[in-house]
Amino acid sequence: MPHAREIQLQIRGTPEHEFGHAENGGGSKQAADHGRRSAGGSVWWWLMVMFDMLVMLCGQTIATLLGRLYYNSGGNSKWMASLMQSGGSPLLAILLLFTPPHSAGAGTQPPASKMIPIYVGIGILIGLDNLMYSYALQYLPVSTFALVAATQLAFNSITSRLINKQRFTAHIANSVVVLTFSAALLGVGSSSDGTSSNLPHGKYTLGFILTLSASAILALNLSLFEVTFEKVVRTRTFRWVLRVQMYTNVVASMVAVCGLFASGEWRTIPGEMAAFKEGRARYVATLVGMAVSWQAMAVASMRLIARVSSLFANVTGTVALPLVPVFAVILFGDKMTGIKAIAMLMAVWGFLSYMYQHYLDDRRVAMTKEGAIECRACAARAGGEAVLHV
């Protein structure tokens, strides 16, 4: 599911000067920090950040709800739903055209022989992830789907530890445990969900398992993206974020197109369009809305990475997960049972615990840098005093 997806590139500690207008990656860290503080004092800067947050939250929420509407109104093609999750990637080419090219000081670019296998490998994983989410969204109420998808933070903690060597602290462990119990609570409480009784036997369980599996693959993709930027690309410019995102999604779209034709589902599309409850025009509008919403969410996520940090963008994307069940109750009549309410609170608690650990890490890094600056200042002052004494 690209909400994430693209979205959620966990490039920890990305300096702001490496994105956006400073494509060449030049400038000192102190200058970048000063620029960020200066920008932070601007009312216009904060308005733009709030706008990007709103677009990201709306894009992810609308795309998920439109996916549920597609199935509720007569849509049945999982491959078509999968294609819409990455099929809007050509829109990123427009942004790429307006992004300044790499300058001579940006360093050597990785050879195509290294990047093509990465694009293909991660793209195939994204395509598989999209298909799993498409099946899961048909078999689960959208409120349950969104809550179970919140386990991606727990899976991401594990993959970050194994692949990115991230520390596994008590707060992260608490997040993993709470999110796991939250998903398990929904699994054992499926009988209390009114919509699950309308599904064939075993479909609810299958949707639950597929959502968990897709969340795990998404977490793996995030860690693989991070390794790619750290070990292969070795730069984190906005242009490179666009390129990696666009090419991997093009591969995912090719996977969906191949699946659409290999499964024979393409033959059912005309009949599906004719039988769509809202009419042919609404059918097309629903699919286009899904594709545009996913890409709008992705663009807003990248803008937040450029303006603030990748962590801030990831936090914003995760905040959208508890919003979906609320709108699902209003729009689709999903039941907000006591078990769902408890699971939602547990998911929020697990999310906050996860974010609190990142907050502690950021504070530790800031204090370390401040201490280093003070030590250098003291050393310089001591050296000056020694010279005066001589």
Residues 348 and 353: their CA atoms lie apart, in Å, by 9
Residue 190's pLDDT is what? 53
Give the torsion sign (CA, 13, 17, 23, 25): negative
**Which helix or strand (DSSP H or E) is residue 53 part of?**
helix 43-72
Residue 296's pLDDT is what? 83
**Main-chain dihedrals φ then ψ at residue 264, nearest 5 degrees:** 80, 5
Residue 170's pLDDT is what? 80
Instruction: Give which of 203, 222, 252 is closest to 82, Cα–Cα.
Output: 252
For the full predicted model, state whether its pTM sits above 0.75: no
* DSSP state for residue 18 in the 8-state scheme: G
Token code pair at residue 315: 């936090």
Q: What is the largest CA-CA distance in the chain?
A: 93
Angle between helices 43-72 and 310-319 (to 10 degrees): 40
Residue 71's pLDDT is what? 87
**148-166: burial string, b at 16+ Cβ within 10 Å, e else:** bbbbbbbbbbbbbeeebeb
Token code pair at residue 17: 């000067």
Residue 250's pLDDT is what? 93
What are the residues whose beta carbons fall under 8 Å from the beta carbon of 72, sequence distance 6 or more? 332
**Which residue in the block uniquely carries the two structure tokens 């490179």?**
240
**Average pLDDT, 10 consecutive residues per value, the chain (390 residues):** 42 41 38 42 75 86 89 89 90 84 64 92 94 88 76 75 74 75 66 53 83 88 82 81 87 94 91 88 93 84 64 64 74 75 79 75 75 60 49
Residue 382's pLDDT is what? 56
What are the residues whose beta carbons fall under 8 Å from the beta carbon of 187, sequence distance 6 or more? 205, 208
* DSSP state for residue 233 in the 8-state scheme: I
Residue 377's pLDDT is what? 55
Token code pair at residue 272: 């599906």
